[in-house]
Amino acid sequence: MKRVLLIALAVMTTSTAASASEAGRRDRIDAREAVQKYRIQQQRDRGNLTWYEKQRLNYEQYRIRQMEAYAKRDGYVSRYEARRINNAQNAAARDIYRQSHDDDVTWWKIW
């Protein structure tokens, strides 16, 4: 009887820890997505991004959201899926930085 109870307790603890770490992955992905969206809008408002650059960066964010939705379709984001999304977000962060620090500016900032 004690053995069955211990096994059941171990299974519950393991599944709870797995779902907690998975929830942490989803929260980190969502938080990072919000930060990148804010950075894009902020750079556009400052005039450091042209309309076309903003559209391209927003499309890149859309593709990352699609990757996230595909990863969540089974209700669980695995480490592999989270790493893949993280790598895409790293590339998007680099693109935001590069596009906002190049010589292209909006038309009203030229004056």
- Each residue's pLDDT tens digit, 6-35: 666 666 665 554 555 677 888 899 999 999
Given a contact cutoff of 8 angstroms between Cβ atoms, the answer to whether 92 and 64 are in contact is: yes
Query: What are the tokens at 37?
Result: 């969206």
Q: How far apart are CA 88 and CA 68, in angstroms?
A: 10
DSSP string, 6-73: HHHHHHHHHHHHHHHHHHHHHHHHHHHHHHHHHHHHHHHHHT-S-HHHHHHHHHHHHHHHHHHHHHHT
pLDDT tens, residue by residue, 47-96: 999 999 999 999 999 999 999 999 999 988 999 999 999 999 999 999 99
Nearest to 42 by CA among 90, 97, 102: 97
